[in-house]
Each structure stands twice: as C-alpha cells, then as structure tokens.
Amino acid sequence: MASTAKDIQASLVHIPFILKSYIQENIKPISAKYSYPNERGINPAFQSLAEVKSRLQLNEKRIFVLRSDFIIATGVKNAYQEYHYHGLEDVIDPALHQYIDWTDRYGHPSLTQPDGKYNGQVYYAGFVCQRRDHLEVFLSSGRFNRSDRVEEGIFPLSEEQTHIIESYLVLNFSKSYGEQDVVFYDTQPGKQDDEDSALFFTDTPFPVVKQYRRYSQESLAKAAACAEAALNYAKARKYIRLNIAPVKPKYSYPGEDNINPAFENIEQVSYPLQHLEKRIWVLRSDFLLATGVKNAYEKEYNYRGIADTFSEASFKFINWDDRYGHPSLTIPEGNYDGSAFYAGYLCQRKGYLQVYLASGRFDRNDLDENQVAILEAYIAAQFQTAYGQQEIVFDYANPDNSYYHTTFFGHGIFSKDNPQRRYDAAKIREILTNIPAKESIKEISQTSHCNIILR
C-alpha cells in the first residue's frame, strides 16, 4: 500500500519528536568514564549524522555518539591497527596526513568536546558498520558505557529505554545511510569487548548464539506508541479535548488571510532560539502546536521579527501589509476550523523559556486552575523537546494594558507580583502523570504499547 502524506509526516517528523521527548525525559546522559593521555583533538573525520548524505561502503566503519544536545556525531577512530584496521588513514586524503596527530586515538571523546552550549555528555555510543544486507551497530565504548557505574549513580538502561533510544538512532541512521534493517550488538567492557572487537574489526561475523536486536521500519511506530504512552501525551490530549472548549479569533484585520512565512509545527523545530529571540505560537484544536513570527510592532517597539528572520532575497515573497499574527497559524483547512485552545508568544531568556500569554484574538480567562496546569504542562513538555530542556515560564498578560507589550518587546522583566507559573521537567511529569480520571476517560496504559517486537 502506498504511503499517505500523513504517514510520511509521521515517519519524518512526529515519530522522531516523540522518541526524542521520551529520551530527554527518561534517560540521563553520562560523562566519559576515563581518558587517555594525548587525547585532546577533535576527530579529523567529525561529521554530524544530519550532514551525511551517502551510504557507507561495504564493511566501512564509523564511531558515533548521541550527544546530550541531540547531535549524532560520527567520526573515525585511530586504533585497532593490530587487526589491520586503518580507518582514519583510508578516510583522510594522504595530502592531509601531515596535519593529523597520529598519537591521538580519536575515540568517542573526540566527538564530545564541551563548548559554551554543550556539556560533553552522551546518551549512547558505539560503532556502525555497513554489512551486506544491514547496518551493524556494535555498542563498544569504554568511556560511555553504563556498566558497573552504580557508584556514580549511573544504571543500565531498561529494556523499554533501550528499544526507544535505539529506535531513535535507527530513524536517523536510515536517513543518512539508507533505509535498511539495523542490528544492534551489546558487549561488556574487558574480556568480552576485546573478543568482540577482534571479530568486528576483522569483519568476522559474531557467533550465531550472540544476542542481538534487529530493527525494521515496522518496529519504529510501535516504539513511538510506547514512548507516547509513557509521556502521557495521549492522556493529556484526551483530557483537553473533553474538558476545554477551543475558541475562535475574537476579531480580524483586513488583508489578514495568509499563512505565516515562518510557520513551523513544533515537531519540525530543529534549533533552539537565540537569546531574546521571539515567536508567536498557538495550540490549535487539531492539537498541532504551531509557531511563527509576527510582522508588527516595529514602529511602537522597534521589533523587526520577520525582517530579522528572513534574508533580503526572500523579502519579495512576503506580504508586508499582513501582520502575520496568530490567525496566520490557524487558517482553516480540511477538517480544521481555525480554532485554538491557547496562544501567546515565546522569548528565549537566560536560563529559561518565557511564554508570554498575550493574544488579542485567542485570549481566554475561563479556565480553572487544573485545566490551566494540564494545558500548560502539555505545551511546556513540547517546548522543552523543541527548544532544549529548561524551565518553561508562563507569564500573565493583559493585551489591553500597554505595560505588558512595552515590557515584553523591550526585553524587560515583569514585576514580581505579576502572575507566573513555572514548569521544570519534574513538575511536567507530575502533572501529566496525575491527570484526573473521569468515567468518560479510559485510563491509557503506559505499557500496553511497549511490546516492541524485534526480529
């Protein structure tokens, strides 16, 4: 059966977003266990997996790490010459060999050097190798394994955690190295790793009795369903649908009928906002959390969001008479009627993401404390996945009082007595886990979808 556009959207956007949400919420990244002398350079073959556009050659190998900033970094290790492995020499042009520090092993730490935005921690690490009919993942990493590290507060992953993090990697490996089955092999530091490495680097098949996990495209949707159940997103959506009525825009401006030029589904966001960068957002009644940039307030507050977001070459395609406000994110189509549950602005502050609850069109004051908590926790969870795990702070606003816009667009901070609600990961989890059950809401099992069948 041919894939529908909705199926393709789920595969390319929704499933990776849900798996990433689960990983960020349920798995702690770890630091390197130890280091070697002379191990300080960036891997000469460093490449983000997102930049890789061609398959590996037969038996070609890479090291990889899934970093805490969700960059999947790859490179080539300068070791295992005892097995006649010369990966780095083969990959780097001979004319450039003089620039390589051949005393550096260029192991996994060469992909994880900390900087101002990245702390050097890793979720998962190992090697990938292109075999004849599948991609092989060998989970050998002395530095970033979770074995025998209980005294550090580091524990092995559960079966569910393993399947979900590996499914996330499979999705990304398939984009870069071609759609194929992906087979994961575990190993343990010490004697077992030495024996397994001798086979891996000489391209000798592992014994048939060695356990493995084989992932196909069919298993990925099951992993996403498992992750979504654990996150309680479906439970939150059902509560919102049954208990909170969406609202239509209160009014409109002439000539305001275009889609926002910067329209993005939250699941498509791939970069954090810059300091003080702003977005408009709405949680639509079809549960699409949409973001964009508003074309207004330049005269009043010197805000030039659209002009700062797009290059001048794109300006001719923009209707500068359109304000591109919240209705530009809620244009009716198909079964969607243009209504929304909640709306406002975002602004990246130092150490937290500000959610400014101002929307003249979709303002509402009809929700009780419990409805607000569930609605905001559901939204905050997705903002954390898209813009980085940080505190999400919802600030009250009165759109009829100029103080609020003047303060917000002037990069100011509201007075201490202004109502505010703060959500960190623990509070989000507490709220979404304890959504009140009613007769009309059947409890959604957190384990009913988690039987991910691997072959």
- Residue 247: DSSP 8-state: B
Across the chain, how many H-helices and E-strands are there?
12, 14
pTM for the model stands at 0.90
Q: Which helix (H) or strand (E) holds 208?
A: none
Report, in this order, helix, strand and coil percent for the chain, each rounded to 5: 35, 15, 50
164 and 223 Cβ atoms separated by less than 8 Å: yes
Q: How far is CA 428 from CA 104, 283, 390, 431, in A?
A: 43, 17, 12, 5
For the chain, the first-to-last Cα distance in angstroms comes to 22
Phi, psi of 432, rounded to the nearest 5 degrees: -70, -25
Question: In this structure, what token pair is assigned to residue 242?
Answer: 């049954």
Q: What does the pLDDT profile of the chain (455 residues) look like in tens digits?
A: 345 555 555 567 899 999 999 999 999 999 999 888 878 899 999 999 999 988 999 999 999 999 999 999 999 999 999 999 999 999 999 999 999 999 999 999 999 999 988 999 999 999 999 999 999 999 999 999 999 999 999 999 999 999 999 999 999 999 999 999 999 999 999 999 999 999 999 999 999 999 999 998 788 889 999 999 999 999 999 999 999 999 999 888 887 889 999 999 999 998 899 999 999 999 999 999 999 999 989 889 999 989 999 999 999 999 898 899 999 999 999 999 999 999 999 999 999 999 999 998 899 999 999 999 999 999 999 999 999 999 999 999 998 899 999 999 999 999 999 999 999 999 999 999 999 876 334 444 444 446 665 65
CA dihedral 265, 270, 276, 280 (to 10 degrees): 0
- Residue 205: DSSP 8-state: P
